[in-house]
């Protein structure tokens, strides 16, 4: 651990900023933050908070680094993609070289009703870096129930938005009163995304995090939106909490109470995630040996196993979760899973 003198020198430019000061820096060193989703905005937020001196980061993501992530996901390298490293594993490795004083916990985890208590317990602030509406709705319910603040951020194409959701103020459902059908909205996979927009939105969200964690400065009271490609900027004031809001008004937490879906279509990715309710019958090493006997080429790392058969590709994780790519048909994916993985 670097000495206090070295730490003081490291953050001298920040502490000279009147809006933060030494007291604010000391609060950052004690702060505990969870980042859900280590993709584009999530990796930008993690990068900013690491360099700012936040003392503890819990990194949560279910995916691995791929080459198409590299133009906009700032914590990753070509080597990470070549090694099929889980995003949180790669992010933690790089983060330890950026700020060795920060305690980093990496969870290769699919956030759902069965895992959210474990994933978010004991932190001061949740940062949303996910690309899933379902995940945001889940986070919102959990934060309202647990009286915890969270910061939303999202990017699509050249457009981005961010907002703070704090206890005693409007929650996500107060603002977004209706939800589109799953798969009906464009995603980064279908509509693309411009990398610099990610940096702008991620750093705006990280700046708001510094304010909330230190209790200094005026936190943004609005939904902030921008279209960087068209150079358009807009603020929409968040409404007052709605007494009839099903979440913060009526305190209905249906997403937290229901069993997680065993089969999930990953919107825009032409992939199905299968989360077995029972453990798969073989460990990854046994599965690899079985597949090789069937003359199937297998790539195995410490974190996952990947193989292709028929017209599909499967990525299997140690907890039994499987992502089957090449189809958006749950029945087809389930049949493939039963034939090749859990027979």
Residues 65 and 89: beta-carbon distance below 8 Å: no
Q: Which of 102, 174, 188, 248 is catalytic?
A: 188
Residues 213, 209: Cα–Cα separation, whole Å: 6
Q: What is the arrangement of strands in the sheet containing 56-61, beginning at the earlier edge strand?
A: 103-108, 56-61, 32-36, 125-128, 150-156, 159-165, 222-227, 232-237
Rounded to a whole number of angstroms, the distance between the first and last alpha carbons of the chain is 50
Q: How many helices (H) and strands (E) does the chain have?
A: 14, 14
Question: Is there a catalytic annotation at residue 188?
Answer: yes
CA distance readout (Å), 256 to 19, 95, 143, 227: 38, 31, 11, 34
Longest dimension (CA), the chain: 66
Residues 127 and 151: beta-carbon distance below 8 Å: yes
Residues 179 and 133: beta-carbon distance below 8 Å: yes
Tokens of residue 87, six digits:
């995003």
Active centre residues (catalytic): 188
């Amino acid at each position: 651990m670097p000495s206090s003198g070295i730490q003081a020198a490291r953050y001298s430019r920040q502490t000279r900023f009147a809006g933060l000061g030494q007291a604010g820096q000391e609060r950052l060193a004690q702060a505990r933050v969870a980042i859900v989703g280590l993709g584009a905005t999530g990796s930008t937020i993690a990068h900013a908070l690491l360099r700012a001196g936040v003392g503890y980061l819990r990194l949560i993501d279910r995916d691995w680094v791929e080459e198409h992530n590299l133009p906009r996901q700032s914590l990753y390298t070509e080597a990470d993609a070549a090694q099929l490293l889980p995003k949180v594993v790669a992010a933690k490795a790089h983060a330890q070289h950026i700020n060795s004083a920060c305690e980093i916990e990496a969870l290769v985890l699919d956030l759902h009703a069965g895992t959210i208590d474990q994933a978010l317990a004991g932190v001061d602030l949740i940062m949303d870096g996910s690309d899933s509406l379902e995940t945001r709705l889940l986070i919102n319910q959990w934060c309202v129930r647990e009286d915890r603040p969270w910061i939303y951020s999202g990017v699509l194409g050249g457009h981005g938005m961010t907002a703070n959701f704090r206890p005693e103020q409007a929650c996500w459902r107060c603002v977004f009163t209706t939800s589109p059908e799953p798969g009906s909205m464009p995603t980064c996979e279908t509509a693309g995304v411009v990398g610099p927009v990610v940096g702008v939105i991620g750093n705006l969200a990280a700046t708001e995090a510094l304010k909330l964690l230190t209790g200094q400065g005026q936190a943004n009271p609005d939904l902030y939106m921008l279209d960087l490609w068209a150079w358009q900027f807009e603020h929409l004031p968040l409404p007052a909490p709605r007494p009839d809001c099903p979440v913060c008004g009526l305190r209905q937490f249906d997403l937290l109470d229901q069993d997680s879906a065993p089969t999930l279509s990953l919107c825009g990715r032409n992939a199905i995630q299968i989360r077995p309710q029972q453990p798969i019958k073989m460990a990854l090493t046994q599965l690899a040996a079985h597949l090789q006997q069937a003359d199937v080429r297998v790539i195995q790392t410490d974190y996952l196993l990947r193989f292709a058969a028929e017209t599909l590709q499967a990525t299997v994780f140690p907890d039994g979760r499987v992502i089957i790519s090449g189809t958006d048909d749950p029945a087809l994916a389930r049949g493939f899973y039963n034939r090749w993985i859990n027979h």
